[in-house]
Chain A
Amino acid sequence: MPPAVEVIDVARRFGTVQALAGVDLTVAEGEFFGLLGPNGAGKTTLISILAGLTRADRGTARILGHDVVTDFRVARRSLGVVPQELVFDPFFSVRETLEFQAGYFGLRRQGAWIDEILHHLDLTGKANANMRSLSGGMKRRVLVGQALVHKPPVIVLDEPTAGVDVELRQSLWRFIRKLNRDGHTIILTTHYLEEAEALCGRIAMLKDGRVVALDSTHNLLSRFAGLTCRVASEQMPAAWEARIVRREGANFYVGLANYAELETLLAALRADGIAIDELALEETDLEQVFLRIMKGAEAA
């Protein structure tokens, strides 16, 4: 059984920018896979190469064993993509938009499936409304519907919840989870790291066009198991500078291996005569892991 997505040494340069610098990645069938990284990391370029929107300078990309260039018809039929940009055709209604998208894939008479998609995306009441009349969140849902209308086994969601309200986000994830349970492979890029932590079984982190971490979500969290201590103060002891994960104004976020280290930190602050305005502890989450990995990649 070929993997759902296989990326081998894929590289792509745009002018002076090396968007992808030799990415290797394999996503098994049925996975809920996260693709994370800061802006400009190469996530959208990688998705565009999988979708045939961009051509790689070198390397190979396959969807369910089908090369995205030489066997593009089967590869594209196997892939559904929710693009990041909120795009739509202002000439048509929601139903027409979905019918056309199914038709482009050679599928006719998809009325029942389109009705089901509209129901799950809470768009039944807007089926005959012109795309222009929809709110941003509704347009985003139509994009999801367009990606699903040809029943692709592999679905890529590029920032699908950007600008979407909480209620809609929850209903969208319920639907995507259902598709994953039904056997669809899901690849997700998002800036909402708590979403990735809750949904993805495995995660790849990209930075400057390279994969800097690739592991199960559980392993990534375990690798950086521990605590993050938020200290609001004017400065930090010099010996603890290297342990600062990030700084937001007067707040220093310091990584701790365990509770015992908290006492050591407090002792260092007392020894240097630094006053603490506020202090809070939190378990390490994916956001902390992400920041530490990105910081590590920067240092490397």
Chain B
Amino acid sequence: MKAEVAGHGWVTLLYKELLRFWKVSFQTVAAPILTALLYLLIFSHVLEGRVSVYDGRVSYTAFLVPGLVMMSVLQNAFANSSSSLIQSKITGNLIFVLLPPLSATDLFAAYVLGAMVRGIVVGAGVFAVTPLFAPSLLAMPHPFWALAFALAGSAILAMLGLLAGIWADKFDQLAAFQNFIIVPLTFLSGVFYSIHSLPPFWQALSHFNPFFYMIDGFRYGFFGVSDVAPGVSLGIVAAAAGVLAALTLTLLARGWKLRA
């Protein structure tokens, strides 16, 4: 009664994670795209012509679009891994992935990649409709920089989501993690403004926010201009990703809050 072993369990878990958000794509893809477009409509209508960005070389609407795309990538990557894990923990069906011979690396790979895909899909969805507002953005001077920051940023938020899902015992705790940590770090990262428009104290403080480097580096791909050199930003983002990966893998290997 032996069955042939073909393939790796983590690939199935990744596929399950993708199917999980795709089955409710109105909620997980369409809704965040609409939210980002509403931000774009309102902020560009109110602030276009009133805010000077990069010494007037870039219109405010064009400046805003990459920020909103990246914000969508980050928030949805976090939402995917965190909600999947906390739902499985609370309903008890996490046992289905704890019983099979999936290692900490297997669980890490499946949850993080699944969340990255959702973040990128939503980000791509936002970007796909924004040329209506800023057609000049299609002529990206450095698309690979933008892609590198989108991948690194989504990976970081996917790992933060995984950590939040492991830590939280109830939805209330997860909401607190999202509303008191993720949302402020995202909104204060320069999505809606260039940090050069801030007073010196807040400018300096922004450099301690790792989300700032993700957004700023991503914008470099669109304009060839950024507040910080893209290589420096990518180095900081990669270092943050490395630390988070080590922490997440350690907790998964120990089974912290997952296995008794």
A192–chain B nearest beta-carbon distance, Å: 23
Q: Give the docked Cα–Cα distance between A110 and B96 (Å).
A: 17
Q: Which residues of chain B come closer than 8 Å to A136, judged between CB atoms?
A: none
Interface size of A in residues (CB-CB distance below 8 Å): 43
Query: Number of contacting residues on B, CB 8 A?
Result: 34
User: Could you mark each residue 43-61 of chain A with 1 if its beta carbon is under 8 Å from any beta carbon of chain B, else 0?
Assistant: 0000010011111000000
Q: Are B255 and A55 in contact (CB under 8 A)?
A: yes
Q: B20, B100, B260: which contacts A101 (Cβ < 8 A)?
A: B100
Closest chain B residue to A183 by CB distance? B1
In the complex, are the beta carbons of B1 and A53 less than 8 A apart? Answer: no
Interface centre among B4, B93, B255, by most A CB within 10 Å? Answer: B93
Find out whether the CB atom of B5 lies under 8 angstroms from the CB atom of A146. no
Partner of B20, one of A52, A91, A102: A91
Chain A residues near B11 (CB-CB < 8 A): 103
- Which A78-94 residues sit within 8 Å CB-CB of chain B? 79, 81, 83, 85, 87-92
Q: Is B12 positioned at the interface, with any CB of A under 8 Å from its CB?
A: yes
Residue of A nearest to B94 (CB): A87
- B57: interface (CB < 8 Å): no
B260 and A107 within 8 A (CB): no
Which chain B residues numbered 8 to 34 have a C-beta less than 8 Å away from chain A? Answer: 8-9, 11-13, 15-16, 19-20, 23-24
Asked if A62 is at the interface (CB within 8 A of a chain B CB), the reply is no
B92 contacts A151, C-beta separation under 8 Å: no
Q: A53-B98, A87-B92, A101-B100 are in contact. Are A106 and B8 (CB under 8 A)?
A: yes
Min C-beta distance of B49 to chain A, whole Å: 46
- Closest beta carbon of chain A to B85's beta carbon, Å: 13
At the interface, yes or no: B101 with Cβ under 8 Å from chain A? yes
B260–A53 touching, CB < 8 Å: yes
Of B5, B20, B99, the contact of A81 (CB 8 Å cutoff): B99
* CB of A224 closer than 8 Å to a CB of B: no
Q: Is A95 an interface residue (CB 8 A)?
A: no
Of A51, A103, A113, A183, which contacts B12 at CB under 8 A? A103
Q: Which residue of A lies closest to B16 (CB)?
A: A100
Q: Is B3 an interface residue (CB 8 A)?
A: yes
Establish whether residues A90 and B16, one from each chain, have CB atoms under 8 Å apart when the complex forms.
no
- Stretch binding the partner chain, chosen from A1-9, A69-77, A166-174, A236-244: A69-77
A53, A106, A109, A151 interface centre (most CB from chain B within 10 Å)? A106
Q: Is B41 an interface residue (CB 8 A)?
A: no
Determine how close the nearest CB of chain B comes to the CB of A148; give it in whole angstroms. 10
Q: How far is the CA of A90 from the CA of B84 in the complex (A)?
A: 12
Contacting residues, chain A, for B100 (C-beta < 8 A): 76-77, 101, 104-105, 150
Known contacts A87-B91, A91-B20, A103-B7, A54 near B102 by CB under 8 Å? no
Question: CB distance B97 to A182 under 8 Å?
Answer: no
A48 and B260 in contact, given A108-B7, A183-B1 (Cβ under 8 angstroms): yes
Can you list 5 contacts pairing A with B, beta carbon distance less than 8 Å?
Answer: A77-B100, A83-B95, A100-B15, A109-B6, A110-B3
Binding site for B on A (CB under 8 A): 14, 48, 51-55, 72-77, 79, 81, 83, 85, 87-92, 96, 100-110, 113, 146, 150-151, 153, 182-184
